[in-house]
């Protein structure tokens, strides 16, 4: 079924899943939240707090990684990038100290050995450095282990994948994603970076509980934290996408039911199924896979991702269900987080 033919039927049985978000907003724990759920032809959205539209864009943090990877895979489908090639084929300066052993696909499944953030991350952000400075630092970052021998979540590996995409396509990553993903899927509220929007009008993150690499709520980090104009427009390939719950849902649905508008069906299968060697944390290309990547009730077929700003997105082919929860409360601010409570209820109700 094409995106244009989606039914607007509200799946009322999922209404209880909105309860944890509604309650968290009502008591002032969360400033804004949105949820989108689709099962089969039925879909619905909910908005709470300062979010009053299904098209309100949130900073979705690391869910951005899945979209960055999709942009690269469009170039793979074009025959311009070989996932099994050494990353140094496209990044000639990425050599020495074992770097020449890193394969392109290993950047996408967090087994490259690269760190999550470069050692001088705070210094670069506080000085409002351009993306090229982060790329230069990531190219020099020491590997923690030989490529392919261990798993360690790495935002910098996604950054280098994005840099390969930029060099090969000749486009900036915001342009590449807009051309190959956002526009074809009708993701009209989505952009990497501000996309021309006024940051003062965007839904603010509750930065007082932000991740350490984002300032951890320190007042001294206000010029470079999640809410700053610098970071909102920086366009971090690992965490800088702004999108509505409905738009993230469109992307998930395309990954579960490829229409041919973006990537080949076989490419989406690689994105959404385990690509790592036995014994290592299972990962698709960009997506996490299995129950751990969705809800407590997810199946081994599920895939998804979370974001440090308080976001979550997953799809489960077993129940033909997709769920997106966007909040302003950072993911580590409380446990269980309302996003996970809502997600678990969606997963449970999807089985009924």
Quote the pLDDT of residue 11: 55
For residue 283, what pLDDT is reported? 98
Q: What is the pLDDT of residue 217?
A: 84
Query: Per the domain annotation, does 214 fall within a domain?
Result: yes
Q: What percent of the chain has pLDDT over 70?
A: 97
pLDDT beyond 50 at 245 = yes
Segment among 49-58, 122-131, 316-325 with least mean pLDDT:
49-58
Average pLDDT estimate for 19-43: 97
Question: What span, in angstroms and rounded, lies between the C-alpha atoms of 24 and 32?
Answer: 9
**83 inside domain:** no
Q: Is residue 84 included in any domain, yes or no?
A: no
- Stretch 139-164: mean pLDDT, rounded? 98
Using an 8 Å Cβ cutoff, are 37 and 11 in contact?
A: yes
pLDDT class of 352 with cuts at 50, 70, 90:
confident
91 domain residue, yes or no: no
CATH of the domain at 237: 3.40.710.10
Within a 13 Å sphere around the CA of 280, how many CA atoms are in the beta-carbon half?
20
Q: What is the SS3 assignment for 263?
A: coil
Is 43 in a helix, a strand, or coil?
A: strand
The arithmetic mean of pLDDT across residues 19-24, rounded, is 98
If you average pLDDT over every residue of the chain, what do you get?
95
Q: What are the respective helix, strand and coil percentages of the chain, to the nearest 5?
A: 40, 15, 45
Domain annotation covers residue 151: no
Q: Where do runs of H (alpha helix) occur along 8-47?
A: 19-26
The answer on pLDDT for 6 being more than 50 is: no
Mean pLDDT of 72-82: 98
Residue 186 lies in a domain: yes
Instruction: Give pTM, 2 decimals.
Output: 0.95
Range of the structural domain that residue 299 is part of: 3-66+172-350
* Mean pLDDT across 89-97: 97
Place of tokens 């999709």: 70
Q: Evaluate if residue 216 carries a pLDDT over 90.
A: no
pLDDT one-digit tens code per residue, 167-203: 999 999 999 999 999 999 999 999 999 999 998 889 9
User: What is the average pLDDT across 232-250?
Assistant: 98
Provide the pLDDT for residue 213.
Answer: 86
Q: How many domains does the chain have?
A: 1
Q: In what order do the strands lie in the sheet with 58-59?
A: 58-59, 241-243, 191-192
């Amino acid at each position: 079924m094409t995106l244009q033919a989606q039914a607007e039927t509200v799946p009322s049985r999922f209404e209880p899943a909105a309860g944890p978000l509604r309650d968290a907003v009502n008591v002032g724990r969360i400033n804004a939240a949105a949820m989108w759920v689709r099962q089969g032809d039925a879909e619905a959205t909910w908005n709470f707090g300062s979010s009053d539209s299904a098209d309100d864009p949130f900073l979705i943090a690391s869910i951005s990684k899945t979209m960055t990877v999709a942009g690269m895979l469009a170039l793979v489908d074009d025959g311009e990038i070989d996932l099994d090639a050494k990353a140094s084929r496209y990044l000639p300066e990425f050599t020495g100290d074992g770097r020449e052993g890193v394969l392109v696909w290993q950047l996408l499944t967090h087994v490259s050995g690269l760190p999550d953030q470069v050692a001088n991350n705070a210094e670069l952000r506080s000085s409002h450095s351009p993306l090229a400075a982060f790329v230069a630092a990531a190219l020099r970052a020491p590997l923690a282990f030989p490529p392919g021998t261990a798993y360690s979540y790495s935002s910098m590996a996604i950054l280098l994948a994005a840099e390969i995409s930029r060099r090969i396509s000749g486009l900036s990553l915001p342009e590449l994603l807009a051309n190959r993903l956002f526009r074809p899927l009708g993701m009209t509220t989505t952009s990497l970076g501000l996309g021309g929007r006024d940051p003062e009008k965007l839904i603010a993150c509750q930065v007082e509980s932000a991740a350490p690499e984002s300032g951890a709520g320190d007042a001294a980090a206000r010029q470079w934290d999640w809410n700053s104009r610098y970071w909102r427009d920086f366009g971090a390939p690992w965490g800088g996408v702004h999108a509505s719950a409905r738009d993230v849902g469109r992307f998930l649905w395309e990954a579960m039911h490829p229409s041919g508008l973006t990537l080949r069906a076989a490419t989406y299968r690689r994105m959404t199924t385990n690509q790592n060697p036995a014994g290592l944390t299972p990962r698709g290309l960009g997506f996490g896979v299995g129950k751990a990547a969705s809800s407590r009730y997810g199946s081994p077929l599920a895939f998804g991702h979370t974001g440090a700003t308080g976001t979550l997105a997953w799809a489960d082919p077993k129940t033909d269900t997709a769920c997106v929860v966007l909040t302003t409360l950072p993911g580590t601010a409380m446990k269980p987080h309302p996003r996970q409570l809502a997600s678990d209820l969606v997963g449970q109700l999807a089985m009924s």
